[in-house]
Amino acid sequence: MITSISGNYSDTIYAGSIRWTGDGGGIYCSIDSGNYWENIGLFDHYVSSLGINSNNDLIAGTRGHFTLYHGGVYKLPSGTNEWITLKDNDIVTSLVLGLEDEIYIGCSNIDLYYGAIRYSFDGGQNWIIIDSGMGDRNVEKLILGNDNHLYSLSGWGNNMIIHRSNNTVLILQPGINQNKEIITYNYPNPFKGETIIYYTLPTNCYEEVQITIYDLFGNQIKKCIMRNDQLKNNQLKFNALGLASGIYMYQISYGVYHCSRNMILLNKNFNYE
């Protein structure tokens, strides 16, 4: 049974499949628009979802395995035939790739597994649970809407609930446009305790600079408004004392110019999945 399908701009099509009652399942590939198919790995896996990132790597989420119950997230790098495990020991029901190749997965809480949504900002090396407002739930479906918000369908039977992320997957505030006139980054990132926000502004600009910090859900954490010459060496130290580990966003506004970037806070109580 086919459970998921994905393709790129060529004639290549990928299909995820399942066969619970015996050998089978896995991922199949067609390079001629579907006339001929061959298995390319994850044999016996219940493949729930597929995605292709900007490097043309194939990313797969699985709900489990015919001989090994739990599932996970796997990657087939472009031009190779060997799958890499990005995450295991989860029941992955759905997978979404963000606009910057970040990975979001919906997970089931069946049989004491922890449900909710998980997020990786570094291609699957590390994972963060995103469950604010949801808790431990059976996430059956996760999609990225046309408005760049994540939507999840969770629950069981007749008690299904739809959740929507407060912000877009880029964690930008509504109405703010990115502008290449501002060049910025923060270091270290991820960071513990403190990080320094570095930036370069357009030349011959003397208006006030506004730097605002938001959490993942769009709540304002800190705002600094000052003249450009008050910011020494075009940098600002941000102290995250008292804040919880997670994803934050800083936004620089300078006249008609705006730019936003994500940053990851790790404190002593933070544990990766």
CATH number reported for the structural domain that contains residue 160 in this entry? 2.130.10.10
> Do 77 and 150 belong together in one domain?
yes
- Spatial distance between the Cα atoms of 250 and 247, rounded to a whole number of angstroms: 10
Q: List CB contacts of 271: < 8 A, sequence separation 6 or more.
A: none
Report mean pLDDT in 10-residue bins for the chain, 273 residues. Answer: 66 81 78 87 89 91 79 92 92 87 89 84 80 77 82 86 72 42 82 86 70 82 74 77 84 79 70 37
Beta bridge partners of 125: none
Residue 20: both structure tokens together: 């619970």
Select from 142, 168, 194 the last residue of a domain: 168
Cα-based distances in Å from 1 to 15, 16, 220: 10, 9, 47
User: 144 with 201, same domain?
Assistant: no
Domain with 239, as residue range(s), is: 183-265
Tell whether 53 and 113 lie within a shared domain.
Answer: yes
Q: Is 3 helix (H, G, I), strand (E, B) or coil?
A: strand
pLDDT at 185: 84
Residue 174 counted as domain residue: no
Residues 75 and 130 in one domain: yes
Q: Are 60 and 42 in contact, with CB atoms under 8 Å apart?
A: yes
Residues facing 74 on adjacent strands: 60, 85
Euclidean distance between CA atoms 149 and 271, whole angstroms? 26
Residue 273 lies in a domain: no
Which tokens go with 32? 């001629």
Structure token digits, residue 125: 């090396």
Is 132 a member of any domain?
yes
What is residue 49's predicted lDDT score, i.e. its pLDDT? 92
Structure tokens belonging to residue 136: 């431990």
Residues 90 and 116 in one domain: yes
Residue 175 lies in a domain: no
Strand partners, 214: 220, 249
Residues 27 and 117 in one domain: yes
Q: What is the pTM of this model?
A: 0.64
Q: Does residue 29 fall inside a structural domain?
A: yes
End position of a domain, from candidates 101, 136, 168? 168
| Same domain for 93 and 152 | yes
Q: Give Dmax (Cα) for the chain.
A: 70
The confidence score (pLDDT) of residue 178 equals: 46
Are residue 146 and residue 191 in the same domain, yes or no? no
The total of structural domains in the chain comes to 2
Residue 197 is part of a domain; what is its CATH number? 2.60.40.1930
